Amino acid sequence: MNVLLDQLKTEVLTKELKLLFKEAYELGVQDSQKQFQYPHLLTKLDLTEIFQVKEATVNKIVGIKGFPKSQFVSARYPRDEVFKWMHANSGKCRDI
């Protein structure tokens, strides 16, 4: 009886984990599709869409020390670095 119960618990856990992993994978794919729809170098207009704020707020964000900027093209921001920065600093931008 105990073996059967353990087997049922294992089967239920396996099904739940498969569902959880599938949902996590699908969310990851959706996030990647959103991120990679933008060009490699972002403009301030792109940043207003990404951050869902007005241009005045974007001007404050790009002025934050450490915000990624292109070293070769002015007023352009490297997409992948911006997303890394955003995830690393999302809780730190409350006073903007």
pLDDT bucket at 30, cuts 50 / 70 / 90: confident
pLDDT at 92: 61
Q: Helix (H, G, I), strand (E, B), or coil: what is residue 23?
A: helix
Q: How many residues are given for the chain? A: 96
pLDDT at 34 over 80: no
Mean per-residue pLDDT, 82-92:
87
Write out the two tokens for 78.
């490297």
Residue ranges covered by each domain of the chain:
1-37, 41-89
pLDDT at 29: 72
Cα gap 94→42, rounded to integer Å? 23
The model's pLDDT over 2-11, given as tens digits with 9 standing for 90+, comes to 778 888 888 8
pLDDT bucket at 41, cuts 50 / 70 / 90: very high
Contacts for 27 with CB less than 8 Å, ≥ 6 apart:
none
